[in-house]
Amino acid sequence: MRFVIGVDPGKNKVGVALLDAEGRLIERRLLSRFTAAKQIAELASGRESVIALGDGTTAGRMAAEIQEALGSDIDDIIVMVDENNSTVEGRRNYLLANRPRGLARLLPLGLRSPERPWDDYVAEVIGRRYLDSSRSSANIKEN
């Protein structure tokens, strides 16, 4: 595996983050739910990748749509990842990366409102969780 595609599936929008195997962020995207599976399949196409899909409410349907969009390209693997508290962590990461200027910067993070959806940051959290769990599994197997 050379890339991880973190996916935060939602009812109307889908967050996507592309990470390399070392966890370096390559890109983040916010996608429409209706075109997401095709765009994720295109992102995975030609890459040795794992699709780390958050295991929330719409995950089963999203996994089926991605698999259908991948077609015969079965080298890509869809793995379900626990997304418990990932929205909170993604929101925090978004707010830290987009700090306001002026007096607004004095507001605590909990009182700030994001200027846009942060599902792409949540997808990054999901991708990193997959990488962390795969590293932990590799360490257990070595010992």
Take residue 32 and report the two structure tokens written for it. Answer: 């429409």
Task: Determine how many CB atoms are found less than 10 A away from the CB of residue 134.
Answer: 16
Res 101: pLDDT: 85
22 close to 2: Cβ distance less than 8 angstroms: no
Q: Look at the chain and report how many structural domains it folds into.
A: 1
Residue ranges of the chain whose pLDDT lies below 70: 73-76, 137-143
List Cβ neighbours of 16 (8 Å cut-off, separation of 6 or more): 5, 6, 7, 8, 28, 29, 30, 31, 36, 39, 40, 43, 120, 123
Res 76: pLDDT: 58
CA–CA separation, 2 vs 8, rounded Å? 20
The whole model's pTM is what?
0.90
Res 136: pLDDT: 75
- 8: domain CATH number? 3.30.420.140
Res 142: pLDDT: 57
The residue range of the domain holding 65 is 3-142
What are 121-141's pLDDT values in tens digits?
999 999 999 999 988 766 655
